[in-house]
Amino acid sequence: MTRQLLVLGAGTAGTMIANKLRHRLDAGAWEITVVDRDDLHPYQPGYLFLPFGIYTPDQIHRPRHAQLADGVRFVEAEVERVDAEAHRVSLTDGRLLDYDYLVIASGTTPRPDQTPGMLGSQWRRSIFDFYTFEGANALATALQGFDHGRLVVHITEMPIKCPVAPLEFTFLADAWLHERGVRDRVELVFVTPLPGAFTKPVAAEHLGSMLEERKILLEPDFMIERIDDEAKTLVSYDEREIPFDLLVTIPLNMGADFVERSGLGDELNYVPVNKHTLQSKAHADIFAVGDASDIPTSKAGSVAHFSVEIFVDNFLELIAGKPMTGSFDGHANCFIESGDHKGLLIDFNYDTEPLTGSYPLPLAGPMALLKETRRNHLGKLAFRWIYWNVLLPGRPLPLPAHMSMAGKHAVTAATKEE
Amino acid sequence: MPVTTMAGRPIQVNDEGFLTDADEWDEALGAELAAAIGITLTDEHWKAIRFLREDFAEQGETATLRRVSTRGEIPVKRLFELFPQKPTKKMAYVAGLPKPRGCV
Ligand SMILES: Cc1cc2nc3c(=O)[nH]c(=O)nc-3n(C[C@H](O)[C@H](O)[C@H](O)COP(=O)(O)OP(=O)(O)OC[C@H]3O[C@@H](n4cnc5c(N)ncnc54)[C@H](O)[C@@H]3O)c2cc1C
């Protein structure tokens, strides 16, 4: 009898898993099915560039089914619920899918409905997000008409996917306003629930001073309670108020609602997993890979990529009745656009925060860490091609899945993470 | 690691005064830690602190503000009133738990 591997979500992680395993599982013995609600695979990192007209909308999307290897079944439907006891998934159209193993790869989604006032009278008038295709496009139009006033960039709550994207947007906005000759007529403010510009001390300090150099005001420790849409003001739980003319917010990010309905999620609908194997803590035949899990590292495509490498080898061991020997270390690797055709690179894992130094990239040569260079910017742009042509098809990329200390400047105990 | 004397016995803490061994905590010590940051514990405070302790025992991690509010059933607004300015940090301190992991 053929066995069933069912993957929920044909985004970055789900697509890579299906493709890699299709090449390594016997087609007669294993069927692989991937479910997604639509057939439009977005290159999400491109959303950052849409508001500034750097990418055009047609550079962002490709059909999902075309990214999947031959022999992978694609089902276009909305997932309703997972019945973990019955090993069965129900779709909202009434269909049922049985599985031997289930991979939850349903990612995370911005939820503006979770903050009172966000979806009020100002939504997509003076309040925008750029974490969706529609939001990024609407913001592009709004920016065209914006030449003075207070531009507030805001993070609702951590964790969010691509936690550096709000900073990148801010740097790009600063450069863009300069280019248009209106920067001195705009007050640029960065509002975050974190105590500083970023999560970890060394990176927070570097990125914080980059905000200062650009005369961008930082409002730390801001936990939003609501938006007063009539007064165009952010209000925090401790009653601080931040007025805006144009607000670019990252709404609360949450995992899929079906995760919650199925009793598989935490308070943000993320699936609690073993952080080294991505196996559900509650069910041995369920894994959560990519943004859908609760692992304590960045929610990023690079993390999805590195963790999929480990997952695939482990999965082959598991179904062969052997113990899983691979252990994911939380490795993340992110380019940060900083404006004027420059960028930074950060590289870290569960135990090591982003440090300065260099990253030994095969072929392209060493990339500078936590330092603005033109080469890092080119690396970021090259990534779109790599995403479609190397990562999604599951071709090997000569990057080790585990983080390496080679090239990094270690910090002394006194400056260690808080 | 510094050692300090509280509730009549030596307690191990880190540079910021957070307990480094959650097992050294008891409710008498909790009350003393709260007093040290100017908070007199009421039943409502205790509800939050007890939730944090139980949740930590199960999860091995300090609950986030959202978790205390959704699973512990105390509105975030109220937590800001009970533990002014930095509720997450203050609750963890009083409960003798590590600061919640910085989100990445
Ligand atoms: C603006 C922005 C910039 C970014 N920049 C970078 C970057 O520079 N570098 C980087 O590494 N990462 C970046 N990321 C993050 C990266 O895109 C994500 O981390 C990555 O796509 C996660 O992959 P995933 O497979 O977990 O989730 P996704 O790729 O989001 O896929 C989840 C899929 O599940 C489907 N789904 C969810 N619920 C259901 C349901 N009920 N029924 C059916 N289908 C469902 C969705 O339709 C979706 O296709 C960025 C993200 C954004 C938004």
**CB proximity B67 to A under 8 Å:** yes
User: Contact at 8 Å (CB) between A371 and A343?
Assistant: no
Cα separation, A217 vs A250, in Å, equals: 18
Q: A200 and B104: CB-CB below 8 Å?
A: yes
Cα separation, A317 vs A6, in Å, equals: 18
> Among partner residues A194, A238, A296, which is closest to B80 by beta-carbon distance?
A238
User: Contact at 8 Å (CB) between A272 and A280?
Assistant: yes
Question: Three-state DSSP class for A309?
Answer: helix
Q: Which residues does chain B have within 8 Å of residue A348's beta carbon, measured at their own beta carbons?
A: 104
Q: A200 and B67: CB-CB below 8 Å?
A: no
Cα–Cα nearest to A299, from A269, A325, A326:
A269
Considering only alpha carbons, which residue of chain A is nearest residue B79? A237
CA distance B65 to chain A (A): 10
Give pLDDT, residue A360: 82
CA distance A39 to chain B (A): 31
Query: In the Cβ-directed half-sphere of A308, how many Cα atoms lie within 13 Å?
Result: 31
Beta strands A186-191; A149-155: pairing state: parallel
Q: Which of B1, B57, B103, B104 is catalytic?
A: B103
Cα separation, A56 vs B89, in Å, equals: 44
Residue A109, strand partner residues:
A254
The tokens describing B58, both together, are 């199960």
Q: Is B1 a catalytic residue?
A: no
Residue B25, strand partner residues:
none
Q: Which residues does chain A have within 8 Å of residue B103's beta carbon, measured at their own beta carbons?
A: 158-159, 163, 194, 199
Closest protein CA for atom 31 of ligand 1:
A11
Confidence band (pLDDT; 50, 70, 90) for A364?
low
ipTM for the assembly: 0.88
**pLDDT for residue A416 is more than 70:** no
Confidence band (pLDDT; 50, 70, 90) for B103?
low
Confidence band (pLDDT; 50, 70, 90) for A396?
confident
Strands of chain B (E only): list them.
3-6, 9-12
Confidence band (pLDDT; 50, 70, 90) for A70?
very high
**pLDDT tens digits for range A301-327:** 999 999 999 999 999 999 999 999 999
Give pLDDT, residue A362: 65
DSSP symbol at B60: S
| Average confidence (pLDDT) over A207-231 | 97
**pLDDT tens digits for range A115-167:** 999 999 999 999 999 999 999 999 999 999 999 999 999 999 999 999 999 99
**pLDDT for residue A361 is more than 80:** no
